[in-house]
Structure 1
Amino acid sequence: MKMPLALPAALATIAAAFTALPAQAQNAYANPVTSEVLQGWDLPDGRRVAALRLTLAPGWKTYWRSPGDAGIPPSFDWSLARNVKSVAITWPTPSVYVDNGMRSIGYSGQLVIPLHVTSARAGKPVRLRGTMALGVCADVCIPHEIDFDTMLDAPDTSPTPAIVAALADVPYSASEAKVASATCRLRPLDDGMEIEAHVTLPNTGGNEVAVIETGTPDLWISEARTTRKGNTLIAVSEMMHANGGAFGIDRSDVRITILGGNYAVDVKGCTAG
């Protein structure tokens, strides 16, 4: 089992290649994505539903939270935010791309990322100031950073249509998709571990792609080999810790997303199989 370049090294390689481009070529890639914060509305429980809207230039795409071997995972830094206790991120259903034989998972065109913001002091203004680090790709892939700074201080209970649409465009839950069972088998390898997930559910249509996440930090997980036998979808991935050391997997933290031609399904947790 071979793990790809560690992310920092991969980003450094991409950045170096981009720096080496002629000035006119760099200008063509100067603005691959623009962004704005959507103010959103207040929920009865005191949380604020806001969103970050990204608009990608034609021919460009960016990545989902688990981007595949060919992608760069996005990350957020909220350290400069004020009166913010937590921010929960909701990812709309992504698309699967295959370029030069490599698979990536992400978005093109416009992407609205809903944010459920919990304030540290209820009833006080929230300053949503942060940074999003992401990868964007066209003919080349480059790291990109978005800075945003907005006061969420206008009380409003009217839902924002663009955010409502993004919240509706999420994978079905296991119960909504009529998942009968989800089991995971773990098998040790010389340099890591193999996970084999069996999910019993109706066919989601087309060429189904499963993505396995574990909730374990610094863990590399290979693209899942996805097959189906009747009503059971089988996904197999190999896992390795970034530092090559031992690690454990809590099955209750395993997350299996199935991206089908008709709809997607988000399965949280699995039992021993």
Structure 2
Amino acid sequence: MIRYTATLALLAAPALATTQDDVLSAQLRPGWQMENGAHMAAVEMQLAPGWKTYWRSPGDAGIPPSFDWSRSENVKSVTIHWPAPSVFELNGMQTIGYHDHLVLPVEIMPKDPARPMRLSVAVELGVCDEICLPASLSLTSDLAPPGASDPEIRTALAKRAATAGEAGVTEVTCSVDPIADGLRLTATVRMPDPGRPEVVAFETADRQVWIAEAVTERRGGELISMTELVPPSGAPFALDRSGITLTILAANGAVEVKGCPAP
């Protein structure tokens, strides 16, 4: 919680003479119609050199982005395909996100495949360098079939996290212990050692649960990572194990593991 307070302090810093337009520009890349009837497009953000923005689970010192697609026309659902993010360390704080340039693929399913789609999104996010700024984007694009293959979007799709099966994960278990204000969660993942430092990011189905920075170690073919979960009630709670996602980040990419059953 202390680190989040530190982030808010940065937002209030007097150096806000820097504006959003100085450090961030964005557009929708219209992409192409897929064989399943969905449309692949992307939100593209260009950041000034040295600036970064955050992943969906940014660490307790980061600012998670939010997306509002409600003003879109003939859109049934939107699925974001997150490229593997980077891990940043600054003043003892760990955050997770993207620097300089981000192409974020989005898969859009129409309500009526016979009608055209218009994609509209409002994005609230944070962008940071030595200071942090809150930023707001409002982007709109018509998605006319068939569109055209976009190498920038395909490159971003290729950077997605590998699944557990693709990464050679053979077993994952989580032990849960109550603590004064929530739960301690310890995950053990059997998977090949990439030979590089790994960072584990935990997510739960309930986004209101605060998640501490994980402490992670390797024991040969086992990756062991521990975090603490604190709900708004500040007390132990019933944890939905099927809603746990572990994302294992290393210099050569990411692995996403869904669900964490008991040992």
Shift of 1:77: 0.8
Q: Of residues 14, 24, 30 in structure 2, which corresponds to 1:39?
A: 30
CA distance in 2 between counterparts of 1:49 and 1:242 reads 37
Shift of 1:87: 0.5
Amino acid at match of 2:70: S
Residue matched to 1:86: 77
Query: TM-score, normalised to structure 2's length?
Result: 0.93
Shift of 1:84: 1.1
Contact 1:82 1:128 in 2 (8 A): yes
CA distance in 1 between counterparts of 2:208 and 2:140 reads 29
What secondary structure sits across from 2:22 in the alignment? Answer: coil
Amino acid at match of 2:222: T
What secondary structure sits across from 2:49 in the alignment? Answer: coil
- Cα 1:205/1:141, change in 2 over 3 Å: farther
Q: Of residues 111, 123, 128 in structure 2, which corresponds to 1:132?
A: 123
Residue matched to 2:218: 228
Shift of 1:146: 0.9
Query: TM-score, normalised to structure 1's length?
Result: 0.90
Contact 1:205 1:260 in 2 (8 A): no
Amino acid at match of 2:171: S
Contact 2:28 2:44 in 1 (8 A): yes
Amino acid at match of 2:180: D
Shift of 1:59: 1.2
- Cα 1:5/1:226, change in 2 over 3 Å: closer
Contact 1:221 1:237 in 2 (8 A): yes
Residue matched to 1:177: 167
- For these two proteins, the number of residue pairs brought into alignment is 263
Q: Which moved more, 1:227-236 or 1:154-163?
A: 154-163
Residue matched to 1:114: 105
- Cα 1:126/1:243, change in 2 over 3 Å: farther
Shift of 1:4: 4.1
Shift of 1:122: 1.7
Contact 2:4 2:60 in 1 (8 A): no
- Cα 1:262/1:10, change in 2 over 3 Å: closer
Do structure 1's residue 266 and structure 2's residue 256 form an aligned pair?
A: yes
Q: Which moved more, 1:156-165 or 1:89-98?
A: 156-165
- Cα 1:29/1:122, change in 2 over 3 Å: closer
Q: Of residues 199, 203, 210 in structure 1, which corresponds to 2:200?
A: 210
Do structure 1's residue 104 and structure 2's residue 95 form an aligned pair?
A: yes
Uncovered stretches (5+) of structure 1, i.e. residues with no partner:
none
Q: Of residues 176, 190, 193 in structure 1, which corresponds to 2:180?
A: 190
CA distance in 2 between counterparts of 1:41 and 1:158 reads 5
Contact 1:205 1:262 in 2 (8 A): no
Shift of 1:5: 7.3
Residue matched to 1:149: 140
Q: Of residues 186, 200, 216 in structure 1, which corresponds to 2:190?
A: 200
Deviations 1:228-255 (A, max 9, x none): 1110000100001134355322212211
Deviations 1:112-164 (A, max 9, x none): 00000011222211111111111100110111111101111x21264211111
Do structure 1's residue 255 and structure 2's residue 245 form an aligned pair?
A: yes
Identity of aligned residues (%): 43
Contact 1:200 1:232 in 2 (8 A): yes
- Cα 1:185/1:156, change in 2 over 3 Å: same
Q: How large is the RMSD of aligned CA atoms in angstroms?
A: 2.0
Shift of 1:217: 3.0
Contact 2:179 2:236 in 1 (8 A): no
Shift of 1:204: 2.4
Do structure 1's residue 53 and structure 2's residue 44 form an aligned pair?
A: yes
Contact 1:193 1:238 in 2 (8 A): yes
Amino acid at match of 1:176: E
Uncovered stretches (5+) of structure 2, i.e. residues with no partner:
none
